[in-house]
Chain A
């Protein structure tokens, strides 16, 4: 075989590999938009454009207000880096949240390897395609998020450095490039956390711990996002005094990741400041480490998944046995009828086994935790005394209880294996209220009671007063009980087993009244609790009154379910409303 023939064969192989990589990249890229939260399979493009536009407007609007009032007439004397840092912090946090939504599909799983390995595709092609799809994903989001922002910065800041249009273009490109590097590093930092969990934990434990870590990270990022939007200075003294730290050459400056990329931005603009050169080096290091994180994660996912078969045996764990025992005891004690038992078991097992439902629940709880933390931090002055006489602080536990219940209410609407709901259709009994009762008992026993215990322990630690902490937990439990009845008022569906038509809450028009009503309710309840904790004897009046209220709602629910059949196929609202026939 001549050298020319060999070269030609080699070129043909490379061409084929490139075409395989192209197909795989498209596949992996498409999968990034079909995650557990947003099923983008249908109308993917329209929804993606909407999401990207919202992100672009959030970042662009913040940037415009930052730079317009400061630099339209007043000069930029090497001070705009603080505003750039603000925007980069916002972009990194937003992209962190986007990445966490992709947590489950960051790497090829066992099914991917089993499907791909029989095909004549090299492993390097698979990983190259994965990396390319990530780069495309990061590029798409970072360019979209910074599209308005980069132009706003260039329009108001470039005039102080040069009046050349080329510099204006360079300004936009420097912004986009450094923002891309920032997003890239955030993305692979999340990949690295995922990789670390995968490396350190046994496979069985990984999924559970990974869910917890995801909860903590989403909570943290949402908290950071809201803080950055409202008052970034409250995050830390470092953020408040960045300029002074820079003037004094403090090493603390190098602990703020967003500043590394601002340094890169300034270096790309030709700023000779040595601090920015050092920060840019740090950005380069972070960028390089991101590739390393990707390589390590690829190698580990290969070792973990490729060498195992799809149907590997899964032995019973101690935790499962313990849980089985608790479930059995709970059923014997509280779930008396077969319908209640079926509903309770179906609810808890679906939540446990469906990543989709777990993810919705975890994200809801994370946002709730972030909101409660933010409220406490934002009103630090009001919450300095975190005691039983601080109504604002008492409201945070109630907020957490409501978020928990609302997340569960939202999650039961999301169907799981809809085609299998025939079993409920053919076994539907006449006493339909038992289904709802079973579900509510399970939520009360499995979620609300442990949550109230958690509230008790946290407040016992904080207040060092067992009685007050106990009464607070009891109040939360009672309010939660009535809230549970209210949220599942006239609920005549089997959880996870009915088709769901979104948009029935009409949040487009009613979100603000709902929010105001909710805040008023929260305020009234926390005020009531403060009064009760001030005179604990009044609890003997409160408990029967709330008990009676709960019984009233419960009776109404039961009557309604007796008269109405279960719903499996929810119908959308009619497009046109007509007059009743008898009018």
Chain B
């Protein structure tokens, strides 16, 4: 009986401890997973699963890969140097072409879509 009571008390305590331990970096300020990038477009959008996804096109400061940063924040412009934090993964969708005004399927290279958890001007962020 005592053992069962002990387990009953221990499980939630353990769960809370694990939850606290698993939290990502500091809640204010940048975590170690922040990346610095340069925006290669102004506010843009792509289409995934038939939904319009707002954001920006960007490339890492020290790389050539193309990223689409998914965010609703529309306050940045082409060439801005930004720090961004969030998970990313490959995706296939349709890209909006300003010149033709049409959505064209992104099939040439895998495009990485980064889900922005946090975004800011690069001068406020830690150096990569």
Q: List A residues at the B interface (Cβ < 8 Å).
A: 70, 73-79, 82, 159-166, 169, 241-244, 246-247, 272
CB-based contact A169/B51 at 8 Å: no
Q: Which among A78, A82, A162, A246 is the interface contact of B24 at CB below 8 angstroms?
A: A162
C-alpha spacing A75/B53, complex, angstroms: 11
CB-based contact B22/A75 at 8 Å: no
Q: Using Cβ atoms and an 8 Å threshold, which residues of chain B touch A166?
A: 19, 23
C-alpha spacing A160/B50, complex, angstroms: 19
Closest-by-CB residue of A relative to B18 is: A165
Question: Assuming A75-B70, A78-B51, A82-B49, is B22 touching A165 (CB within 8 A)?
Answer: yes
CB-based contact B22/A77 at 8 Å: no
Closest-by-CB residue of A relative to B21 is: A165
The answer to the question of B91 belonging to the interface, with a C-beta cut-off of 8 Å to chain A, is: yes
Q: List 29 A-B contacts (CB under 8 A).
A: A70-B49, A73-B89, A74-B90, A74-B113, A75-B70, A75-B91, A77-B51, A77-B70, A77-B91, A77-B113, A77-B115, A78-B70, A79-B48, A79-B49, A79-B51, A79-B53, A160-B115, A162-B24, A163-B87, A164-B23, A165-B18, A165-B19, A166-B23, A169-B19, A241-B50, A242-B50, A243-B49, A246-B51, A272-B72
Q: Which 9 A-B pairs have the closest CB atoms?
A: A243-B50, A243-B51, A79-B49, A165-B19, A165-B22, A77-B70, A77-B53, A75-B89, A247-B52
C-alpha spacing A576/B43, complex, angstroms: 76
C-alpha spacing A534/B82, complex, angstroms: 75
C-alpha spacing A339/B14, complex, angstroms: 74
CB-based contact A78/B53 at 8 Å: yes
Contact with A along B25-62 (1 / 0, CB 8 A): 00000000000000000000000111111000000000
Q: Using Cβ atoms and an 8 Å threshold, which residues of chain A touch B70?
A: 75, 77-78
Q: Using Cβ atoms and an 8 Å threshold, which residues of chain B touch A78?
A: 51, 53, 70
A240 to chain B, nearest CB (A): 9
Q: Could you list 8 further interchain pairs (A-B, Cβ under 8 angstroms) beyond the known A75-B115, A165-B22?
A: A75-B70, A77-B48, A77-B70, A77-B115, A78-B70, A82-B50, A243-B51, A247-B51
The answer to the question of B88 belonging to the interface, with a C-beta cut-off of 8 Å to chain A, is: yes
B61 to chain A, nearest CB (A): 22
B42 to chain A, nearest CB (A): 19
C-alpha spacing A78/B116, complex, angstroms: 12
Closest-by-CB residue of B relative to A160 is: B115
Find residues 53-92 in chain B having any chain A CB closer than 8 Å to their own CB. Answer: 53, 70, 72, 87-91
CB-based contact B90/A73 at 8 Å: yes
CB-based contact A74/B89 at 8 Å: yes
A195 to chain B, nearest CB (A): 39
C-alpha spacing A246/B50, complex, angstroms: 10
Q: Using Cβ atoms and an 8 Å threshold, which residues of chain A touch B52?
A: 247
C-alpha spacing A82/B51, complex, angstroms: 10
Closest-by-CB residue of B relative to A273 is: B72
CB-based contact B114/A75 at 8 Å: yes
C-alpha spacing A75/B72, complex, angstroms: 16
C-alpha spacing A76/B88, complex, angstroms: 9
C-alpha spacing A13/B51, complex, angstroms: 58
Q: Using Cβ atoms and an 8 Å threshold, which residues of chain A touch B87?
A: 75, 159-160, 163
Q: Using Cβ atoms and an 8 Å threshold, which residues of chain B touch A162?
A: 24, 117
Q: Using Cβ atoms and an 8 Å threshold, which residues of chain A touch B50?
A: 82, 241-244
Q: Using Cβ atoms and an 8 Å threshold, which residues of chain B touch A161?
A: 115, 117
C-alpha spacing A242/B50, complex, angstroms: 8
B69 to chain A, nearest CB (A): 10
C-alpha spacing A272/B51, complex, angstroms: 16
Find residues 104-122 in chain B having any chain A CB closer than 8 Å to their own CB. Answer: 113-115, 117
B47 to chain A, nearest CB (A): 9
Q: Using Cβ atoms and an 8 Å threshold, which residues of chain A touch B114?
A: 75
C-alpha spacing A74/B72, complex, angstroms: 19
Question: Assuming A79-B51, A82-B49, A243-B49, is B91 touching A164 (CB within 8 A)?
Answer: no
B123 to chain A, nearest CB (A): 26
Q: Using Cβ atoms and an 8 Å threshold, which residues of chain B touch A246?
A: 51
Question: Assuming A76-B115, A246-B51, A247-B52, is B89 touching A163 (CB within 8 A)?
Answer: no
B105 to chain A, nearest CB (A): 15
C-alpha spacing A77/B117, complex, angstroms: 11
C-alpha spacing A272/B54, complex, angstroms: 14
B53 to chain A, nearest CB (A): 5
C-alpha spacing A426/B20, complex, angstroms: 77
Q: Which among B19, B23, B51, B88 is the interface contact of A75 at CB below 8 angstroms?
A: B88
Q: Using Cβ atoms and an 8 Å threshold, which residues of chain B touch A75?
A: 70, 87-89, 91, 113-115
